Chain A
Amino acid sequence: MYGWEMLSFNIHDGFLEAIVRGNRSGLLTAADYNNLCQCENLDDIKMHLTATEYGPYLQNEPSPLHTTTIVEKCTLKLVDEYKHMLCQANEPLSTFLQYITYGHMIDNVVLIVTGTLHERDVNELLEKCHPLGMFDSIASLAVAQNMRELYRLVLVDTPLAPYFSECITSEDLDDMNIEIMRNTLYKAYLEDFYKFCQKLGGATAEIMCDLLSFEADRRAVNITINSIGTELTRDDRRKLYSNFGLLYPYGHEELAVCEDVDQVRGVMEKYPPYQAIFSRISYGESQMLDKAFYEEEVRRLCLSFEQQFHYAVFFAYIRLREQEIRNLMWISECVAQNQKNRVHDSVVFIF
């Protein structure tokens, strides 16, 4: 029923849409970032942030502050907002909201598994996990020795279980395996999310599919660049790309055979939306690519607020907040380590 959402959307989701739009107006602006970039120490940052919506979360922190505390508290705010929305949400919005966290779940699983592989303390690892991607038995991931156990012991109960069907092997876990597992899971997750959004239909499908396609394409590029020079075969690499997006299928064929960054660039420049991203980066450079992709993502996420009566605003809001927290982390790190000239390297202005 494309175009008719406005008749019925507000019955169940109008309140939350209002909430999320209200929250969006609390995002830090370029003026805020400029001020933050001029801070001399972390206390200044705290002081500035207490004047924003982060105020209640930071004002009770005692004075010698660490970057991790700032990031932790800011994330806490995001989590609180997310939980509030999840509590109020009806079907299918609640499922949609849960889908948003699966990405974090995958990251957390990978984090714990890699951590235990390197004999790190589980509690220490748990602290590093993103709170949005927590599930009940996450700590018992440390028990598992191989993929099969991982799946059978822990992940069966989680929403990630269906994504696992591709990577159940009895091989012992090692770094390479885990990385492949992460990407396979992510691929399955993105495809599932994509299908779910298409099923929702309407403006949600239109905008979300666009956003997810971008995400898939970005992952494809990242996988390609990261796998250059590793023992990953072309076919394996090809398998990790999600089966949708602008690059699918011809772009994937070409990406699968790329041997260096410039070849990737050659592939991507055939696609007009990505041409702009690559044209800003000089040849042979891949560090700035992340930032360029983030900027493009933020631009697209912001645009999703221009339409009404769809769910993509929730996705966009949470992503924007995460970007904001990344920005804050970067700024705080730069300020804390006296590297202020590098502040602008990785900060993506949202507004």
Chain B
Amino acid sequence: MGVFDRLPPMDHLRSEKMCYVQLIIPAECSRIAVTYLGELGLLQFKDLNEDKSPFQRIFVNQVKRCAEMSRKLRFFSDQINKAGVKSSVIPALQPDIDLEELEAKLGEYEHELLEMNTNSDKLQQTYNELLEFKLVLTKAGGILASSHNHAASAERELDENIYDKEVDEGNSYLLEQGVHQGSHGNSGVRFVSGIILKSKALSFERMLFRATRGNMLFNQAPAGEPVTDPISGRENCFCSFLSGEQAKAKILKICDSFGASCYPVPEEMVKQRQIFHEVSARLSDLEVTLDAGIQHRNRALESVGSQLWRWTIMVKKEKAVYDTLNMLNFDVTKKCLVGEGWCPIFAKSQIKECLQRATLHSNSQVGTIFHEMDTIDSPPTYFRTDKFTNAFQEIVDAYGVARYQEANPAVYSVVTFPFLFAVMFGDWGHGICLLIGALILILREKKLSSQKLGSFMEMAFGGRYVILLMAIFSIYCGLIYNEFFSVPFHIFGKSAYECREKTCSDAHTAGLIKVRDPYPFGVDPSWRGSRSELPFLNSLKMKMSILMGVAQMNLGIILSYFDAKFHGNALDIRYQFIPQMIFLNSLFGYLALLILIKWCSGSQADLYHVMIYMFLDPAGDLGENQLFWGQKELQILLLLLALVAVPWMLFPKPFILKRLHKERFQGHTYRFLGTSEMDPDSEPDSARARRDDFNFSEVFVHQMIHSIEFVLGAVSNTASYLRLWALSLAHSELSTVFYEKLLLLAWGYDSFIVKLAGFVVFAFATAFILLGMESLSAFLHALRLHWVEFMNKFYHGDGYKFKPFSFALLADDED
């Protein structure tokens, strides 16, 4: 263990050291101080007023003002979007303005805009009414004219006592009545004409029919041009109807309730024409006024729009500052604000400098006090990441944020994650495709990061460096597997095998012979298509998976050692780390050793047999499966060690914990009684909190679960690593199928079209199934191997993230 002690400190493995700090800021410079801190973005404020509701806090009025301003800004952007005004953002042309000025300005603009809106709405309404009137005039005029003719003819027919069967029975009857009345009174047929929404027309007609008991005639015609109604905005339909009696009042009421607007249409054609001309003239007048109004409004909106973005940011920042200030407390004298929060230790000097600057700029008499405090809360976890490591950290955080100062698996994931992916995705042709994709994303990084992407693209873009590494490793593994879209290449020299004779007729029956040294790198291309290809590759990949699994799990356990050492927890090292190492390595470590020996020696031993009989019959004779001298004795020893390791990791720890707890508790009581003048409050908070919460059965059950999980996990996790083999096999078989059954089959035909079709189908299958779905599934499996098999050996992941108050993060949130 001495070797480990001399290793340099592993800064990357652990989150930043944090400290709990207290700020005492004079009230007059608090706003500037917090603004500067927001620009720095390295201090996480703690909410000291959690029990207070938002409107009881100190700066509630300012927050309200900011909310009001952002409401106005939303109103403007809404109006701008509605009007479709495009305005170029002119950055920093205008001088910075005060918040108070901005508020006044916004109020002014809003007032102006609202006024303009009401004016133009009024105009629009009159315009619509006139337009409707015009429509009613034309359409109703038409209907009236035709019904006049109709009535005349009907009258004639009536005289001859012949009913026109072609016209609707009810219609003619009604007309007849109307005409008769018309002949008695001067205007027997009354009519109401108006305009109504198309969707309502049907139920309107039905309602009228019911209300008048069928004594009416309903005519409708679609209004040709759409009326842009400010309220409903839908195309209107025109209707006109005739009715007898004094049901007119009733009908008008119904019209009202249906939102149909009625317009009087004179019966005489001359008058109609006259009114029509009047209306048309007024309409064209109004149009000009409306246009002018809209132009005026658009100009106003444009001028607002050019500043809108800047103002929005400004208001947002201001609101964030006041929200943060609301987390602070007034001290007793009401002259200072007291804030508490977390910051990384390295940032302390920066924060101090910031606060000094703030004091200077606000001409405050008193400086800000900034000092560290003790706390029992566990600090937040803060990893400094860059754009490269960020995605890997995200992968780990998705499982759980690391406990404070816990070993960070993301460091190893940077290499192991893409590598395990590549083991499953090994094909250098596919790897190159992936590489091209990743490179495109990376080269257009600047452009893409500023624009909004779809959810899937965003995911791919966020993980572009992960994809890059995955692609590079895929090419590497693909070279080892010697597969390029499943086709083997002779890149590193000639194959070690050759046919027995020139004709190669017995290549598939008698096999090949080895003529030179093994193929220098990766799988010999001659395996491809041979009868023993699958058994060979399966055996290779399966063993490889187990080797990698055992290696990664060992890494996990070793990390738990470093964690325990870092936190000074000797108990965990002795009663958890050591038995775990022994257990895993005496079983699966031994298997890995056997695999290596078998590969090096070229032995024919059956490893299944060895492993199974190691348990079933440890003392039995190994026979031809013996790989090295003393194997039997070693196996017995390993088995015993594994058996011992289980109770070792189960029993001692809880009992020792119990004893320790008891000792501390008793010792404390003795001391407490002996020195009665000692202040009971002087002991640290943490010790007091921990005193009474030791529950032996809980600890024991927990340890039992942990041990059982580990023992069972050793078997199941090793088996789980076989997914590397399975997915790799699936990938290569699938790409073989596409290559042979699609591309080669199509290539066999003479027709160009068939060849092209075959190629297109092959390309799409490769792109969507192999590059899309297969890479996704390999990604998920690699993820699982990390989250479950690797990280459960050491990772707690129950911390919380460091969320500093920062303007930069604020802007990210909103977009």
Contacts and interface: CB of A to CB of B under 8 A. Distances in A.
A binds B: yes
Given A60-B74, A60-B75, A47 B254 contact: no
B54 A143 contact: no
Contact of A122 (B56, B60, B210, B256): B256
A47 B54 contact: yes
Interface in B239-293: 250, 253-254, 256-259
B210 A152 contact: yes
Contacts of A40: 55
B690 to A, nearest CB: 30
Interface in B203-254: 203, 206-207, 210-211, 250, 253-254
User: Chain A contact residues (Cβ within 8 angstroms of B): what range?
Assistant: 20 to 34
Nearest to A63: B68
A61 B71 CA distance: 8
Contact of A153 (B63, B67, B207): B207
A153 B71 contact: no
A259 interface: no
B654 to A, nearest CB: 38
A321 B200 CA distance: 32
B68 A48 contact: no
Interface in A46-74: 47-48, 50-51, 59-63
B54 A153 contact: no
Contacts of A60: 71, 74-75
A139 B257 contact: yes
Of the four ranges (under 10, 10 to 19, 20 to 34, 35 or more), the interface on chain B belongs to: 20 to 34
Interface string B35-78: 00000000000000000011110001001100110010011000
A206 interface: no
A267 interface: no
A80 B387 CA distance: 42
Contacts of B56: 38
Contacts of A141: 257
Given A38-B53, A143-B254, A43 B71 contact: no
Interface string A115-157: 0000000100000000000001101111100000000111011
A290 interface: no
A157 B209 CA distance: 14
B71 A139 contact: no
Identify the interface centre among B68, B74, B253: most chain A CB within 10 Å of its CB: B253
Contacts of A48: 53-55
Interface in B147-164: none
B67 A143 contact: no
Contact of A142 (B55, B64, B67, B257): B257
B210 to A, nearest CB: 5
Contacts of B210: 152-153, 156
A136 B203 contact: yes
A44 interface: yes
A39 interface: yes
18 contacts: A43-B64, A44-B55, A47-B55, A47-B60, A48-B55, A50-B67, A60-B75, A136-B200, A139-B257, A139-B258, A139-B259, A140-B253, A141-B257, A142-B257, A143-B250, A143-B253, A153-B210, A157-B203
Question: Closest 7 A-B residue pairs measured CB to CB?
Answer: A139-B257, A35-B53, A44-B55, A140-B257, A143-B253, A47-B55, A153-B210
Given A47-B67, A137-B257, 18 more contacts: A35-B53, A43-B64, A44-B55, A47-B60, A48-B53, A59-B71, A122-B256, A139-B257, A139-B259, A140-B207, A140-B253, A140-B254, A141-B257, A143-B211, A143-B254, A152-B210, A153-B210, A156-B210
Interface of A: 35, 38-40, 43-44, 47-48, 50-51, 59-63, 122, 136-137, 139-143, 152-154, 156-157
